[in-house]
Amino acid sequence: MTDPRQNLRIHCQNLRERHAGGYNPATRPAPIAMTSIYNQTIKLFDSQPEPAFESPDQQLAVWGRQWGCDNDVGQIRLCLMHRPGEEMNIIDPAKRIEAIGSFGDLERGWYLQSDVLPDWDTFRAQHDGLVDVLRREGAEVVFLDSVEPDGIKSVYTRDSAIAVPGGAVVCRLARQIRRGEEAHVTRTLARLGMPILRTVHGTALAEGGSFAWIDSGTAVMGRSICVDDAGCDQVEEVLAVSGADLLRVDMCGYEIHIDGAFTMIDDRLAIVDADRLPYWFLEELTDRGINTVEIRADDDPWIVNCLAVSPGRVILPRGVSDATARALEDRDVTILEIDYDQVQLNGGGIHCSTCPLVRDPVESAGGD
């Protein structure tokens, strides 16, 4: 059988002579058809769609580990965070926007969500305290490689990416103050080796703080001024590949994220602010067998913005009311309290400040 390499050399020589005007097909040997070689190769090395991209053996073989999350309560193995740095220097105490009664600069595009400036040393110490608790609870904490020079909201890593089975969805943040965070999280995820399954694009808007897993077969997204239908559509397409459904919940008024009103804290237990959720969603949780602990009117609403580090072990901001604490303990929830009031002055809480990239599956979690 003729060597395929010889056949290729003949073909190239023919082309050279054709362009040089010296090609004579009568005196040159005809190239041997390679179709049979291709056909035999395809049969020997056929396409293999199975096992799926998200399957454990494919993830381990190609990507080095099982990436992503299919729940919000399994043991956190890897968590993305950002320790606030020099970008906070843009906040000028002399700059105020009186219309909102807070600090900000319309010209430079930054704002706080408080009429009191944080103590920056305490702010960073409280963030460090959250990192310490996560590490003690068995999580590896990794940090963003970089942030925008004025990225004062970058500490809230929850919003720029969503971990799903097999990888991540990079979000597209709604407000100009946060635009650009997407590029920094993309570079960091690439360095870590985490597959990026979708980057929300076009005019779609999606932020991770308004995404939550109910169980391994069902997620929820809060539609708001920061999340539109196009953003939901793109996240839903990714989830559908792994067989998960997406519920869309309209947030009340100008609420931006669902994690201010709903957070899963155990396999079948959520903490909720019932006044900030639609009735049908509360009923949906009941129908799915999800029990709820409703915060009281006199509770600090930041309590809902908490984080389960493993089933029934929850990091909460200090200040849980006695009644709510007892309700949680009655459900066998272990409370890990930390001070976080200074970080909250910038507009985000404990849940906002963490982006779990890998969680253990929860055996009993699953769609109905």
DSSP string across 184-245: HHHHHHHHHT--EEEE--TT--B-GGGEEEEETTEEEEEEBTTB-HHHHHHHHHHHHHTT-E
pLDDT of 36 over the 80 cut: no
Q: Other CB atoms closer than 10 Å to residue 255's CB: what's the count?
A: 18
Strand order from edge to edge, sheet including 140-143: 140-143, 76-81, 355-359
Work out whether the CA dihedral 50, 56, 59, 61 comes out positive or negative: negative
Report the mean per-residue pLDDT for the chain: 91
151-190 pLDDT per residue, tens: 999 999 999 999 999 999 999 999 989 999 999 999 999 9
Q: Which of 174 and 113 is assigned the larger pLDDT?
A: 174
Q: What percent of the chain has pLDDT over 70?
A: 89
Residue 44 has what pLDDT?
72
Q: Is residue 145 within 8 Å of 179, Cβ to Cβ? A: no
Q: Is residue 153 within 8 Å of 178, Cβ to Cβ? A: yes
Q: Is residue 43 within 8 Å of 36, Cβ to Cβ? A: no
Residue 368 has what pLDDT?
42
Conformational region of residue 312, where left means phi above 0, alpha means psi within -120 to 50, and beta covers everything else = left
For the chain, give percent helix, strand, coil, nearest 5.
35, 25, 45
Residue 24 has what pLDDT?
58
Tell me the domain boundaries of the chain. 4-44, 56-359
**Mean per-residue pLDDT for 98-103?**
89
307-348 pLDDT per residue, tens: 999 999 999 999 888 889 899 999 999 999 999 999 999 999
The number of helix segments (H) and strand segments (E) in the chain equals 9, 18
Predicted TM-score (pTM) of this structure: 0.87
Residue 367 has what pLDDT?
42
The dotted CATH code for 56-359 is: 3.75.10.10
pLDDT of 138 over the 90 cut: yes
Q: Is residue 218 within 8 Å of 288, Cβ to Cβ? A: yes
114-123 pLDDT per residue, tens: 889 999 999 9
Q: What is the largest CA-CA distance in the chain?
A: 97
DSSP string across 255-305: ---GGGTEEEEETTEEEE-GGGS-HHHHHHHHHTT-EEEEPPTTS-GGGGS
Work out whether the CA dihedral 227, 231, 232, 238 comes out positive or negative: negative
Q: Other CB atoms closer than 10 Å to residue 94's CB: what's the count?
A: 6
